[in-house]
Amino acid sequence: MSSKIIEREIISLPEQQNKMIISGWGSDVFDKTTVEKITYLSDGLKVKGYIAYPKDNSKTYPCIIWCRGGYGNAGAIDKFTARGMFGQLASWGYCVFASQYRGNDGSQGHDDFGGDDVNDVLNLIPLADEIPQTNKNVWGIEGWSRGGMMTYLTLTKTDIFKAAIVLGGIANLRCNAEESKFMRRLYEHSLGNFTNEEFKKRCEERSIINFPEKLSRQTPLLIIHGNADERVLPHDSIDLSYKLLELNFPFRLVMLEGGDHFLKSHRQEVDEMRRKWFDRFLKN
């Protein structure tokens, strides 16, 4: 698995947006971190993404891979959002690596919605060689929505991660397709150019509910879901949790009352849970 950064640009925002970053994420995010937009090689394709790290290079920091949601350019992370979200993680004392996935944001290839593009997540790992602040022996991973699906699939392919967090994550494509109009449109757009049998097979191959035993048992998993989520329905996480209980898998499930897909009304609570989970397993 070869991968390297071939382009990198430090994100610089207009003054008004800088003030919004400070207001929304805090002064440490703006003052003490660097966020870069990058192009890296994944399976020979030029793929766009981001890296973030603390400015203090007197020590090394654990690494976190962050998996975005959405399909295609819908859900792609813009520079402003990257500066805030990834800067926040960096301000907690982590080096962050994120992919836009192949086919998106000017990347080469085609977004395969949990197929070959899972390699775009795995191929972020070697990028740590090019960031002096990284502790390359300690890795965590986090994914929201479709990024939760990408996280689950990644955890079937490597034991490198010491902690994982999934928020509003897709665990069962086939199950939700009829119950959520949003998911039906998403599936038809991303996986719909196939026969019924091919469509069914591709859905099953991307649904961790069908093979939870393949998840890395070395990776404690925090699952967070809003119980008012109308996009990825709450039972995705609940149904998976029953499977994980049967397997005696190390996990925690948190269902947030009234939480929508983006958990907007629980932001502070969610950030606190995320930080504590990563600190517990990546810094101790």
Residues 52, 79: Cα–Cα separation, whole Å: 12
Residue 70 per-residue DSSP state? S
What letter would DSSP give residue 248? Answer: T
Per-residue pLDDT at 140 exceeds 50: yes
Task: State what percent of residues in the chain have pLDDT above 70.
Answer: 91
- Using CA atoms of 152, 157, 161, 164 in order, give the dihedral in degrees to the nearest 10: 0
| Cα gap 145→68, rounded to integer Å | 8
- All structural domains of the chain with their residue ranges: 5-282
CATH top-level class of 5-282 = alpha beta
Q: How confident is the model at residue 246 (pLDDT cuts 50, 70, 90)?
A: very high
Q: What type of residue sits at position 38?
A: I
Distances (CA, A) of 69 to 144, 146, 212: 6, 4, 21
Which of 29, 10, 79, 59 lies closest to 275, judged by CA?
29
Residue type, 226: G
Structure token pair of residue 96: 């962050």
252 or 185: which carries more pLDDT confidence? 252
pTM: 0.93
Q: Where are the beta strands (DSSP E) in the chain?
A: 5-10, 33-42, 45-54, 61-67, 95-99, 134-144, 161-167, 221-226, 251-256
Instruction: Write the pLDDT tens digit of every residue in 162-197.
Output: 999 999 999 998 655 566 676 666 666 666 666 677
Q: Is pLDDT of 38 > 70?
A: yes
- When comparing pLDDT for 154 and 184, which is higher? 154
